[in-house]
Amino acid sequence: MGEQASGGAANSDKSNKSHHEEPVERKLTVRMSGASTGDAAHHRQARDHDGHHGDGHDHDVHPLTTTAKALVTDAYGRHAAARTSGTKTQAGKSSAGKKAAVNDTPEKPTAAKKVPAKRTTTKAPAKKTAAKKAPATKATTKAVAKETTAKAAAEKAPAKKAPARKPESRTALVRRARRINRELAELYPYAHPELDFTNSFELLVATVLSAQTTDMRVNQTTPRLFAVAPTPEDMAALPPEELEELIRPTGFFRAKTKSLLGLSAALRDRFGGEVPGRLEDLVTLPGVGRKTANVVLGNAFGVPGITVDTHFGRLARRFGWTTQEDADKVEADVAAIFPKSEWTMLSHRVVFHGRRVCHSRKPACGACPIAPLCPSYGEGETDPEKARKLLKYELGGQPGQRLKPPADYPGQPAPPMAPPAAAS
């Protein structure tokens, strides 16, 4: 009986131990197996079974002693061996539990999605493309730079054709200026005043009318005028309205009418109806300045004079003979360079060249025979073919300005003015 009691007690101890060990083993099994549905139910049953033993058994289990830890370790080992050598269903459940545990973790799926993104090579081709485009960009930049340099060189090309000259001495200036005069004399041996006239009075009147208009327009107007008033006395006697109508085609006809009536009366009253042959007397006449006086003196009386009109002044500055704008100062500068005997014909030659070649807006530099002597070469058209198209009058195959030019003039005479259309 005592053995039976001892055996019963032993069995009771084993039973109690097994009851305490089973929950620990079950807890580990649940955690390691991923908390599958069957294991979770069994775990609840074991927990309920523990509750029937009362609080007396809790003092033997909690906290875990060294022996309990050994039992937990042994139980974990046996449970792991049982899972490894168990049925395929349990192994499947265990594997499914592990996969479920992995899938339940929120960070791992994100990492799994990011891993393919990191392995993607979408950026690599972009880098390669950029690497390939880099040489093309450099090449393009070099090409643009070369093109810009070429354009800049092309723009500077005309400047190279007319390099900056060294400061010219007075002696060199005089020599070059006189050589230009000789070249112009060979180019225009027929140079002459381009106003039609038969006496000093007609030349004086025509010169006054030539202001702000062309010589050809004056030459087309004066035949009718001189047919009505051939002398100063006749012109002074004309009614202003009649004189205005006669000279209307030349422009500024009211101001010019006042000048013509005034100078005609002065010639009649002060000089006996004759044009004086002195500069001092001529400039006292209404509407007569130094330019008009020099034209009359040089071409009607043979008195040398420099005629500084718009063409002469422009070319004198381009040739480097003067830097002045005032006509009287230009005359003084040029007169100091040339001998007095050359003044009148120099004026004709320079004016001829200014009207035919060295134009105000677009000079024909490429067709100019004195271009090597001109410091302003390059201001106009330098291409020879294009420059030839800019030539005027006899050099361009066009009629001249005079209706009755000199016999040695190689060009055609200007056409007379067309008669006014009859009123219908």
What pLDDT is recorded for position 137?
A: 54
267's CB contacts (< 8 A; 6+ apart) are: 201, 232, 273, 274, 275, 285
Residue 190 located in a structural domain: yes
Show which of 87, 106, 125 is a domain's final residue. 106
Residue 34 located in a structural domain: yes
Question: Could you tell me the pLDDT band of residue 117, with boundaries at 50, 70 and 90?
Answer: very low
Say yes or no to pLDDT of 4 above 50: no
What pLDDT is recorded for position 141?
A: 60
**Other beta carbons less than 10 A from residue 300's beta carbon:** 19
Q: What is the mean pLDDT of residues 6-26?
A: 44
- The one-letter amino acid code at 331 reads E
The answer on 378 and 260 residing in a single domain is yes
The answer on 177 and 89 residing in a single domain is no
Residue 152 located in a structural domain: no
The answer on 190 and 42 residing in a single domain is no
The answer on 98 and 185 residing in a single domain is no
Residue 409 located in a structural domain: no
What pLDDT is recorded for position 79?
A: 43
Say yes or no to pLDDT of 222 above 60: yes
The answer on 176 and 262 residing in a single domain is yes
Q: How many domains does the chain have?
A: 2
Instruction: Please state, in angstroms and rounded to a whole number, the distance separating the CA atoms of residues 156 and 75.
Output: 100
The answer on 232 and 348 residing in a single domain is yes
Residue 268 located in a structural domain: yes
Q: What mean pLDDT, rounded, does the chain reach?
A: 77
- Per-residue tokens: 318: 């381009």
Question: Could you tell me the pLDDT band of residue 42, with boundaries at 50, 70 and 90?
Answer: very low
Say yes or no to pLDDT of 218 above 60: yes
- Per-residue tokens: 87: 């049925």
Q: Contact at 8 Å (CB) between 200 and 292?
A: no
In this structure, is the dihedral angle defined by the CA atoms of residues 246, 252, 257 and 259, taken in order, positive or negative?
A: negative
Instruction: Please state, in angstroms and rounded to a whole number, the distance separating the CA atoms of residues 92 and 15.
Output: 32
Expressed as residue numbers, the domain containing 233 is 172-396
- Per-residue tokens: 188: 């225009």
The answer on 177 and 66 residing in a single domain is no
In this structure, is the dihedral angle defined by the CA atoms of residues 320, 322, 326 and 331, taken in order, positive or negative?
A: negative
What pLDDT is recorded for position 380?
A: 97
Q: Contact at 8 Å (CB) between 241 and 254?
A: no
What pLDDT is recorded for position 166?
A: 79
For the stretch 346-350, contacts whose Cβ atoms lie closer than 8 Å and that sit 24 or more positions apart, written own/partner, are 346/181, 346/184, 346/306, 347/294, 347/298, 347/305, 347/306, 347/307, 347/312, 348/188, 348/191, 348/192, 348/193, 349/181, 349/184, 349/185, 349/187, 349/188, 349/191, 350/184, 350/311, 350/312, 350/315, 350/316
Residue 121 located in a structural domain: no
Active-site residues: which are they?
A: 291, 309
The answer on 196 and 319 residing in a single domain is yes
- The one-letter amino acid code at 233 reads E
Show which of 106, 126, 151 is a domain's final residue. 106
What pLDDT is recorded for position 68?
A: 40
What pLDDT is recorded for position 419?
A: 75
In this structure, is the dihedral angle defined by the CA atoms of residues 226, 208, 346 and 305, taken in order, positive or negative?
A: positive
The answer on 202 and 72 residing in a single domain is no
Instruction: Please state, in angstroms and rounded to a whole number, the distance separating the CA atoms of residues 422 and 424.
Output: 6
Of 314, 312, 349, 355, residue with least CA distance to 186: 349
Instruction: Please state, in angstroms and rounded to a whole number, the distance separating the CA atoms of residues 105 and 109.
Output: 7
Say whether pTM exceeds 0.85: no
Instruction: Please state, in angstroms and rounded to a whole number, the distance separating the CA atoms of residues 187 and 375.
Output: 19
Instruction: Please state, in angstroms and rounded to a whole number, the distance separating the CA atoms of residues 356 and 370.
Output: 13
The answer on 183 and 78 residing in a single domain is no
- Buried-exposed string 348-360: b where 16+ CB fall within 10 A, e elsewhere: bbbbbbbbbbbbe
What pLDDT is recorded for position 422?
A: 55
Q: Contact at 8 Å (CB) between 418 and 249?
A: no
CATH number at residue 364: 1.10.340.30
Say yes or no to pLDDT of 391 above 50: yes
The answer on 363 and 248 residing in a single domain is yes
- Buried-exposed string 177-196: b where 16+ CB fall within 10 A, e elsewhere: beebbebbeebbebbbbbbb
Residue 8 located in a structural domain: yes
Q: Bigger pLDDT: 413 or 28? A: 413
The answer on 327 and 200 residing in a single domain is yes
Instruction: Please state, in angstroms and rounded to a whole number, the distance separating the CA atoms of residues 209 and 247.
Output: 8
Q: How many residues are given for the chain?
A: 424
What pLDDT is recorded for position 154?
A: 52
Instruction: Please state, in angstroms and rounded to a whole number, the distance separating the CA atoms of residues 364 and 374.
Output: 12
Q: What is the mean pLDDT of residues 206-218?
A: 97
Residue 137 located in a structural domain: no
Q: Bigger pLDDT: 52 or 248? A: 248
